[in-house]
């Protein structure tokens, strides 16, 4: 059992080094300043962190990918979701767990980016907004296009009705939910009240990575 405990501890340490979403809480959401927030669809895929050289899971395990998939990936870190389509979580999860980089299913996968963690420091961005961080990746992709990197659209929240309608449209079309983030917030490590998820139900953020008797 010690082996399992050590694995879990290691996963928790790495998880605290990346952005984690909080559950939507009206008390943490400043409804007096809707324009401070951006909303986007929450994709039901597998978290992937590209460190500039390798693609890893949120538990810090390297994801084996075919060379064509990561061709033209940037030399800087990006954070996002490996995704196939709505209601295809089982397929993408099985693909990642298989460790088989030769499967043709990889051609259906896209890497959907929601942040560029170190952009403000690496590119000396004076106003460290989410929009400005994503603009770094947009500029890079103009020079080095990738068929597999997609930037998740970040839509300004106009008012409560606008937010509600967006949420309802995503759920109606069998989406998982939405993400609401403060544009002015930097990339925060660990659980952030400036990045919230709104879903019809919530799930546990844990993953069984393996065990050994002892």
Q: What is the pLDDT of residues 139-181, one digit of tens each?
A: 999 999 999 999 999 999 999 999 999 999 999 999 999 999 9
In a domain, 211, yes or no: no
In a domain, 213, yes or no: no
If one counts every other C-beta atom within 10 angstroms of the C-beta of residue 24, the result is 17
In a domain, 106, yes or no: yes
Confidence of residue 118 (pLDDT cuts 50, 70, 90): very high
CATH number at residue 112: 3.30.470.30
Between CA 102 and CA 110 the distance in angstroms is 16
Instruction: Supply the Cα-derived Rg of the chain in whole angstroms.
Output: 18
Which residues are known to be catalytic? 42
In a domain, 210, yes or no: no
In a domain, 75, yes or no: yes
Q: How many domains does the chain have?
A: 1
In a domain, 156, yes or no: yes
In a domain, 205, yes or no: no
State which residues form the domain around 146: 2-198
Residue 119's contacts (CB-CB under 8 Å, 6 or more residues apart) are 76, 125, 128, 132, 133, 136, 137, 187
pLDDT number for residue 24: 92
């Amino acid at each position: 059992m010690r082996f399992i405990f050590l694995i879990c501890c290691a996963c928790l340490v790495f998880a605290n080094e990346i952005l984690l979403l909080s559950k939507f809480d009206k008390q943490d959401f400043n409804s007096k300043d809707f324009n401070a927030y951006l909303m986007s669809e929450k994709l039901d895929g597998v978290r992937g962190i590209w460190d500039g050289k390798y693609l890893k899971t949120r538990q810090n395990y390297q994801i084996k990918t075919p060379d064509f998939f990561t061709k033209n990936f940037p030399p800087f870190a990006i954070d996002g979701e490996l995704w196939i389509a709505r209601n295809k979580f089982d397929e993408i999860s099985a693909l990642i767990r298989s460790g088989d980089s030769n499967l043709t299913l990889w051609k259906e996968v896209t890497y959907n980016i929601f942040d560029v963690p170190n952009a403000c420091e690496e590119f000396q961005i004076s106003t460290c907004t989410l929009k400005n961080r994503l603009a770094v990746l947009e500029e890079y992709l103009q020079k080095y296009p990738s068929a597999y990197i997609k930037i998740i659209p970040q839509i300004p929240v106009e008012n409560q009705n606008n937010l509600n309608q967006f949420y309802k449209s995503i759920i109606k079309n069998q989406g998982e939910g939405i993400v609401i983030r403060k544009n002015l917030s930097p990339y925060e490590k660990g659980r952030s009240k400036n990045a919230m998820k709104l879903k019809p139900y919530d799930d546990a953020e844990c993953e069984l990575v393996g065990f050994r008797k002892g």
